[in-house]
Structure formats: C-alpha cells, structure tokens
Structure 1
Amino acid sequence: MRLENELFRRLRPNIQRLIEYGFIEQSGIFQYQTKLEDTGMYARITVENNSVSGSVLDEFTDEEYIAVHTVGKKGNFATKVRTAYLSCLEDIAKNCFEKMVYSTNQANIMHEWMIYQLQDIADHPFTKSQNNKRTTDNDFTAYKPSGCDKMYALMFTIGKRKLDKKCDDEYVDAVNIKVEPSKVADLLQSPGFYPAYHMNKKH
C-alpha cells in the first residue's frame, strides 16, 4: 500500500486550509510542491476528490524517484528520502485535513444515521497491543440499540484482499451484520456481500 493511502485513509481535506497551506487549485484539483531538505529531491502532492497522491522527483532531472514507494527498499539514501517525504505528508495531514470515523463517505453517512437518527450506541469492543500496552482498537466499532447490550452491527476497515483474493491491497470499510439464515444464500449472490459470522459463529 502506498504511503499516501495509509496515512490519509481516514482523513478528509479542508479546502480553505489547503489553500492557506500553499496548495494551488486548478479545475478542482489541488497541487503542492516542496523541497525535501538535504536530499536533492522535491515532493509533489495532489489532492483530488478526497484522494491524495504524491511523487518524489529529482530537482535537476525531474525524474521520479520511485524507490520512495517501493516496499522494503533499504539503504541510507532511500531511507532518508522516505523519512523526509513521510514528514512532509504528516505535516499536510495535520494542517490541512480533518479526521473521519471511516475512510469512505458511505460508511460515515451510515455511522451518523445510526447515531443521530436511530440513536444507537457506538463503542469500540476490542483492544490491540501498541508499545507493549493494550489500547482501544478504533478500527472496529460496534452498534447497539439504546438500552441493549447486544450489538447488531460491527463496522471496520479491512484490506480488500482479505475479502476477495482477486482484489488489490487497498482498504475498504465493511459492516458485519446479523441476518436471517434463510436470506444468506441470496445475499451472497449480490456484489459486495461476503460470508461472515457473528460471535456465536452463526450468520
């Protein structure tokens, strides 16, 4: 997965902040360029339709330095460039973007509908290990009706390849929801539906 996709997957751009930061807008596309200090490279960042892409190029030849996006690429220079580029992306994320609950608009709309219209309760039921400590895993959100301890839906972010091996490694938002067993077979014939199980290992 590219650095940009990982870093910005749950963020949304604030147009005014992009402009104030130095992004130039043309036909709805925002672009920003900056030097990566002590590398002889510069970064070009593009924001289009809530999607962020970027490249690193040589200051003298304008040739793209693709190693910055090569997984497992080692070496002092490659590490230096990658670190400088990541620092640039993190600063843009901090100053120009707003955090969202999920990475897709559809999932965020569903979240708001369940919370504000249905007045359901959302919480994070799982923990994960981070820096040798157990912390709340915000990638998983359970939804329960008010006054009930049993969740009816679990929303989370997952790599598409874990759902379908033919897909790429991009992240998607998914919902695990309990359905009547008699409806499972028909639902699995529809695009976007995959087999899943509830806590009791039943549909």
Structure 2
Amino acid sequence: MKELKDFIKNKKIDFKKLEEFGFELIDNSYYYHTFLLKNQFKMSVKINLDNSIFTEIIDIETNEPYVLHLLEMRRSGYSEKVYKAYSEVLEKIQKECFEDERFKANYTKEIIEYVKNKYGDELEFLWEKSPKNAVVRRKSTKKWYAAILTISKRKLNLDSDEIIEVINLHNIVEEIKKLIDNKKYFPAYHMNKKYWCTICLDGTVEVKEIYKLIDISYELAK
C-alpha cells in the first residue's frame, strides 16, 4: 500500500464521518473499498488511528497491484484515467471526512463556524506561500469582510515573538479610531489601517464581541 503524507497535512479526521462514508473499523484501522472504471480496478483506502493513510489499487483481471497512476512522469492516456478516478475518490473522502486544522486557537475555530453557519461562507486560502492565512468574502459582492492570519505578536508592535492567530475586520473610520488601543484592538496588519483593525484571537476580546464586529464588517462588504 502507498502512504499519502500530504493528504492529511493540516487536516483532522472525523472518525464518525468515516463510518458514515462507508469505512469499516478493523483492528484499529479504518478500511474502505470501491471499484474504478467500470469495475476494472479495486481501490482500497486504509486510515490508521494515528492519522496515517494508505491506498492500493488492484487490477481485477490480473489480481496484481496497479502503480502506473502514481508515476507522475510516466502517466499517459490510460494511467491518467485511473489517476483521475483514484483522485476523485480521495477528494470526496477528504471533503466529507476531514476538517481543516490549519488554525489551532479555539476562538478561531468558533469564528470559522460562526461565519459558516450564519452566512454560509468558507475560508479561502489564497496564498500558497502563506498557507495559514485565509480570507472570508461576501458571496453577493465577492468583497472580503474578514481575514484570519497567523503572525508574530511583534508584527503588532508587541514585545514578543509568540506566533498567534488574528482577525482583520472592516469598520467605519470613526469606529476604527475609537477601537484602536494597541492592547485589544490594533491597527490592521497588512491592510488599510484607516478602515480595518486587527484583533488577537487569544481571549483578549470576547468572542461575542468579535461576532458583532464580524456582522458590521459583513454589512460594509455590500
């Protein structure tokens, strides 16, 4: 079986959803089997409790493992079809059974859940070189109303190299001026400081207060 290391990077498995998807728990590992390309291949996925994941494809006709789909430089017409079918299964498993865990702070997770439940919006990770930075945009206008970033406290002129998660939120100029105190509310990191502020997601500002500011920012993204 081939181990997939990048598949679970920054992801957390929801074991209940694995079972709902069709995985079966056997000897502390979850197994899933399906068939590809009109039953020409049997694909097996094994997920261990330590989050490691392995896959295997068996050619039904020969009963031998098929590996050409894994050789990126040598994939051609047929092996490309196998690879596409294989990838579609993995993408579905990842979407339905894994949670994104790039952000660790409880406040961040609560905020992500809040915007998802209230506005139906998901995080967008736009920067390949900054995989722990994301934005949330309003569907009707495509405008950002929040950015969740992972930065050093020193970026906020605080005397610490601690890495924290922060949120940038939009507001009117007068309110931004009132909010900024460099203790709870900071001039926006990497955004227009006239219209945006930064809040540390470490409990210095209560999450309910952040929800209110998210709602204001959402309205301003009309």
Q: TM-score range by the shorter chain?
A: 0.5 to 0.7
Q: Which residue of 1 aligns with 2:18?
A: 18
Q: 1:152 aligns with which of 151, 154, 161?
A: 161
Asked if 2 retains the 8 angstrom alpha-carbon contact of 1:58 and 1:64, the reply is yes
Call closer, same or farther: CA 1:30–1:76 in 2, change over 3 Å.
same
Residue type at the aligned position of 2:97 = C
Question: Do the aligned partners of 1:5 and 1:52 also contact (CA within 8 Å) in 2?
Answer: yes
What is the aligned partner in structure 1 of residue 78 from structure 2? 77
Indicate if the aligned counterparts of 1:14 and 1:96 stay in contact, CA closer than 8 A: yes
- Report what 2:30 is aligned to: 30
**Alpha-carbon distance, 1:149 to partner:** 5.8
Secondary structure of the residue aligned to 1:55 is: strand
Shift of 1:27: 1.7
In 2: Cα distance, 1:19 partner to 1:154 partner: 36
SS for the counterpart of 1:43 is strand
Distance 1:73 1:145 in 2: 48
CA contact (8 A) 1:56 1:68 kept: no
Tell me the number of residue pairs that the alignment of Structure 1 and Structure 2 aligns. Answer: 131
Partners of 1:8 and 1:145 lie apart in 2 by 31
Q: Write the mapping of 1:6-155 to structure 2, written as runs, cut at 5 A.
A: 6-38=6-38, 40-48=40-48, 49-101=50-102, 111-112=104-105, 128=127, 137-139=130-132, 141-144=150-153, 148=157, 152=161
State whether residues 46 and 53 of structure 1, in contact with CA within 8 Å, keep that contact through their aligned partners in structure 2. yes
2:56 is paired with a residue whose SS is: strand
Question: Deviations for 1:101-128, whole angstroms, at most 9, x for unmatched residues?
Answer: 17xxxxxxxx549x8xxxxxxxxxxx74
Percentage of matched positions with identical amino acids:
20
| Paired residues of 1:4 and 1:89 also in contact (CA < 8 A) | no
Deviations along 1:65-104, one digit per CA (max 9) or x if unpaired, are 11122231221001000011000000000111111117xx
Runs of 4+ in 1 over 3 A off after TM superposition: none
Letter in 1 for 2:77: N
Q: Contact between 1:24 and 1:30, CA under 8 Å: does it hold in 2?
A: yes
Name the TM-score, length of structure 1 as normaliser: 0.53
Please give the secondary structure, in 1, of the residue aligned with 2:72: coil
Distance 1:60 1:38, change over 3 A: same
Residues 154, 39 of structure 1: alpha-carbon distance in 2 compared, 3 angstrom cutoff: farther
- Is the Cα contact below 8 Å between 2:68 and 2:75 reproduced in 1? no
Cα distance change on mapping 1:146 and 1:79 into 2, 3 Å: closer
Query: Matches of 1:24 and 1:61 in 2, distance apart?
Result: 26
* 2: CA distance, partners of 1:95 / 1:30: 15
Shift of 1:38: 3.6
Q: Give distance in 2, aligned partners of 1:73 and 1:39.
A: 23
TM-score by length of 2: 0.49
Question: Which consecutive unaligned segments of at least 5 residues does structure 2 have?
Answer: 109-125, 134-149, 165-222
What stretches of structure 1 of length at least 5 have no aligned partner?
103-110, 116-126, 130-135, 156-203
Q: State the AA in 2 paired with 1:46.
A: K
**Aligned partners of 1:143 and 1:151: how far apart in 2?**
8
